[in-house]
Copies of this chain bind each other. A is one copy, B any other.
Amino acid sequence: MNLRWTVHELRLHHPFTIARGSSMTRRVVVTELEHDGIVGRGEAAPIARYGETVESVLHFLSTFDLSRFPDPFALDAVLGAADAHHAGNAAAKTAIDLALHDWIGQRVGLPLWKYWGLDPASAPVTSFTIGIDAPEIVEQKVREAEGFSILKIKLGGEDDRAIIRAVRRATDRLIRVDANEGWKKKEDAVEKIRWLEQEGVEFVEQPMPAEDIAATAWVRDRVTMPLIADENSLRLHDVPGLMGAFDGINIKLMKCTGLREAHRMIATARACRMKVMIGCMIETSVGITAAAHLTPLLDYADLDGNLLIENDPFVGVRVENGRLILPDHPGLGVHPRD
């Protein structure tokens, strides 16, 4: 097998704000696995919080020798070796996992949802995320997102109540909240969640820092709103330990190493009677479409990362009134935009 890759600079519709500043562009790596006349595509959207950069992705891909594996069907052998190649590097591993899956789906002539035995009509509606901003800008963004029946509102700072009030001035749509580990004291988390319960919020993601699982369990005992793990549910082995602290998990391909481990996390969360959501980073339609193929298995989807990009190089899953329309084409069903 032969893997090649391209760095894409994605221009964003709105500045992307993180703790360290804001930017109008994001860089991702798109992989192409060519074998036996078929090209499978994958993507790595590296996450700074976990030590990944475009450069670390390129280093991983250029030092992992895929040519010693003769067959893309051998997912366990290839992905096991990739996982053992270096610790971390989840986005780089995802770029390999996605390319293999896309290749296999094309080889057997089935879209991935069908390859996995899923019903595309079971795909949930996706939410659209509203980032942290001044309340008046949040209000404006909510009005612009009228095509989406579910909004995910980022909180976690001092302005939380003002932000929710701004959202509610603009809409009575269903909202979900992502606190992104922002509430440091468990008493504050309980107070904010009880207030959110009055504001028609469906659930809250990651209210407390990931290292505070016991505090999260303490919070959960005092609220009725479901708590969904995000920074706490990176990989398969994280899931069983979340029982009692969370009601569900958010899976991101770029954190869990890809579709194969995502399947195993979903099975485990179901065994633990937990809800399952899938989220994303800012990714092209390669990564977002891969995640979308899993959604018939899931309760919640938050797959808007490609919608934030002006120059998405690919076309794949479509969104119609928030509904995810999964491709009928084999593999990921993604092709370059021309």
Contacts and interface: CB of A to CB of B under 8 A. Distances in A.
A75 B77 CA distance: 25
B236 A270 contact: yes
Interface residues of A, number: 31
A34 B267 CA distance: 29
Given A108-B108, A236-B270, A237-B273, A117 B76 contact: yes
- Copy count, this protein chain: 2
Contacts of A268: 240, 267-268, 271-272
Given A264-B271, A271-B264, A271-B265, A75 B237 contact: no
Contact of A267 (B108, B110, B117, B263): B263
A270 B264 contact: yes
A333 interface: no
A118 interface: yes
A237 B263 CA distance: 16
A260 interface: yes
Nearest to A80: B119
A26 interface: no
A272 B73 CA distance: 27
A74 interface: yes
A7 interface: no
Contacts of A74: 117, 119
A238 to B, nearest CB: 8
A239 interface: yes
A75 to B, nearest CB: 3
